[in-house]
With several copies, the nearest count.
Chain A
Amino acid sequence: MIKILFFARLKDQLNCSGLNLEINDLDNQSSITIRKLLDYLFNKNPSWQSTFEHQQVFIAVNQEIVGRETTIKDGDEVAFFPPVTGG
């Protein structure tokens, strides 16, 4: 299972704080890239694509910032969020 999380404005826009996916639902591989994960999500929820494309979205895999070519595997936690504004 892959745990997917959305935060802050992105969470509000998608109206979704997160979801769990089985990696087998995504591909017949044991690992896939973030890019492919996004393609899968955009395919399921067509409106999400423009939400992602109209702003800067950061990606963290297991709490570390990564790029879209990063490979994820079963058990990973993938988070998507806008630029941070704490402090």
Chain B
Amino acid sequence: MINIHIQEADFDHSELYNGLRSANTPPGAVVTFTGLVRDFSSHGDVQAIYLEHYPAMTEKTLHKIAVTAQERWQLENIVIVHRVGKITAREQIVFVGVASLHRKEAFQACEYIMDYLKNDAPFWKKEITPTHELWVENKKSDSEALDKWR
């Protein structure tokens, strides 16, 4: 089962984890990734970030990534939650959780989904520091991360 949510509100990690555990075939392995707002960057202290997205494209892209992961590995459940709007430092931004019969599949699928989300999903992050609001530059390491899935 694939569940995707784009929302402004914070999410309940525990609820998402419990959803991943419950499947018709009980999974042997659950891997979760959570991305959090760091309180500093190369621009200095970060008080918050602002996340813009392209709504019509976002869910479509995330769904496509999840379906591709499901074709590549044997997975019971996939949950993707991404917040948009203003998010304060130390808060949760994104959750990707995968439940599978096997540990290796769960690890690989979760990392695969995050790697593609970072490169393909139309989100843009602006950092809000005490003095500036700056769009974040994309990182070369994010596009290089895709090499291992090719």
Residue ranges of A at the interface with B (Cβ–Cβ < 8 Å)? 5, 7-9, 12, 60, 63, 65, 77, 79, 81-87
Which chain B residues (73-120) contact chain A, with CB distance < 8 Å?
82, 93-94, 103, 114, 117-120
Contact A84 B56, beta carbon cutoff 8 Å: no
Complex Cα distance, B51 from A48, in Å, reads 24
Q: Are A81 and B93 neighbours in the complex by a CB distance under 8 Å? A: no
Interface size on B, residues (CB 8 A): 28
In-complex Cβ contact of B52 among A8, A60, A77, A87 (8 A): A8
Are A85 and B57 interface neighbours, CB within 8 A? no
* Contact, CB under 8 Å: A85 / B54: no
Contact of B117 among A7, A77, A86 (CB under 8 A): A86
Given A7-B52, A63-B60 in contact, is the A85-B117 Cβ separation under 8 Å? no
Please tell me which one of the listed residues B51, B103, B135, B137 contacts residue A86 in the complex, with CB atoms under 8 A apart.
B51
B114 near A85: Cβ-Cβ < 8 Å: no
B124:A8 contact, CB within 8 angstroms: yes
Q: In the docked arrangement, what's the CA distance between A5 and B54, Å?
A: 9
Which 3 A-B residue pairings sit nearest by Cβ, starting from the closest? Answer: A86-B123, A8-B124, A83-B138
Give A15 to B103 CA distance when docked, in angstroms.
34
Complex: chain A residue closest to B94, CB-CB: A87
Chain A nearest Cβ from B85, distance in angstroms: 13
- Which of chain A's residues have a CB closer than 8 A to the CB of B57? 60, 63, 79
With both chains docked as a complex, state the minimum distance between the C-beta of A16 and any C-beta of chain B, in angstroms: 14
Residue of A79, A81, A84 contacting most chain B CB atoms (<10 Å): A84
* Minimum CB distance partner of B134 in chain A: A9
In the assembled complex, the Cα of A3 lies from the Cα of B57 at a distance in Å of 14
Complex Cα gap A9–B135 (Å): 6
